[in-house]
Amino acid sequence: MTLGYVPGDSLAHRLDPRSKLLVQIGFAAAAYAHTTPRGLAALTLLAAGCLWAAAGDLDDLWAYRFALPVLLLAPLVAGATLGEPRFRVDRAGAAALASYRVLLLLVVAAAYVRATPVRDSRAAIQRTVPGRAGAFLGIGVGLVFRFLPLLRRDLLAAREAIRARGGGQLPVHERMRLIAVAGTNRAFGRADRLGTALAARCLAWNPTLPRLAFGPADYLALAFGVGLLASAAAAV
């Protein structure tokens, strides 16, 4: 179970991060353009192929389980009404399809995160977006990829600490409040330490980044991403 880069030699590991980003963008566009069950079925196969290309499995998806309750409850909330009828099946069905699209995007994102080092992602963004804006976005992406697993680990540690102190007997809303407060406090603490560390190390806007180069497989990935974008544009 991982929420970060895993070294390997899979097809996705060997691709340039810029081509992988284009595939992600194309897949997202196609997912929001092809909203029918048939279209989502085809996108399911593509998402599974992306995860397979990164040598991933269901354990990688389990790392994103924090989003599953929201995706599962969304159709129930969308279908519920205050008057008659008490439940609108059409609204629930539309919300279920939307939740499934988000799940497919998480699958593709999990494949990207597993197969792409943080430094490569930053280099791809800074070389695609010119100037200070690209440097700012690159720094932001690097920080998110590095600290999201740490924040997740903090939340798990807070939950285990509450259980060890008998918190498992508390109501669910009280446990959620305690975990949220502890996680927020740790997040602010990490942010303060991060700011101090960046200042002490003289944050560089233009660091030495890894060299990127397209290979033969990248041109196929680029064509695949462009094809997904064209498919989405044709469906609009």
DSSP for 141-203, written as a single string? HHHHHHHHHHHHHHHHHHHHHHHHTTGGGS-HHHHHHHHHHHHHHHHHHHHHHHHHHHHHTT-
Q: Is the confidence at residue 154, as pLDDT, over 80?
A: no
Q: Kindly report, residue by residue over 92-141, the tens digit of the pLDDT.
A: 888 888 889 989 998 998 898 889 888 888 788 877 777 777 666 766 66
Closest among 8, 31, 213, 196 to 117, alpha carbons compared: 8
Note the pTM of the prediction, 2 decimals: 0.72
In this predicted model, which residue has the larger pLDDT, 170 or 44? 44
Mean of pLDDT over the chain:
82
